[in-house]
Amino acid sequence: MKASIQLWRIVGGAGLGAALAVGMAVANDGTPALRLPPDVTYGSAANSPGPVIFSHTNHVPLRDNRCVACHPQTFSILQPTGTITHEEMNAGKQCGTCHDGTQASGVQDACDHCHHMGGGS
């Protein structure tokens, strides 16, 4: 059985302001471009192989550049998830909404797909 993962949002000193700093900018070619928040690191539980680093840059293009593909239905910006378990993800909640092995890699695939071994980024 997989251990539960304790998730803590580390946004540095910027707090919620950084999380909400998503907006529209203009790319070099004049088209709208998203300004995405920095990567978010979620700490690991005692039995976890390492922290999980979530990258908006890697995920948003896959969701048609739409923040509302995940917010607020799957992930609340104002009340971030503090704890998530593999059981919840296997039930199709949180990351498991997309990471079901069909839409995206499954939550039971290679641990190092999400967990950064040794704590590095």
Give pLDDT tens digits for 64-91.
888 899 999 898 888 877 677 788 889 9
Give a yes or no: residue 108 inside a domain.
Answer: yes
Give a yes or no: residue 91 inside a domain.
Answer: yes
Tell me: pLDDT of 55 over 60.
yes
Number of domains in the chain: 1
Q: Output the pTM of the full model.
A: 0.65
Q: What does the pLDDT read at residue 9? A: 37
Q: What does the pLDDT read at residue 82? A: 66
Query: Nearest-5° angle of CA 61, CA 66, CA 38?
Result: 65
Which domain range does residue 86 map to?
A: 5-115
For β-strands 52-54 and 9-10, DSSP reports them as unpaired
24-49 residue pLDDT tens:
555 667 666 778 888 888 878 778 88
Residues 41 and 48: beta-carbon distance below 8 Å: no
Give a yes or no: residue 64 inside a domain.
Answer: yes
102-112 residue pLDDT tens:
999 998 888 88
Q: How many angstroms separate the CA atoms of 116 and 121, rounded?
A: 6
Q: What does the pLDDT read at residue 8? A: 37
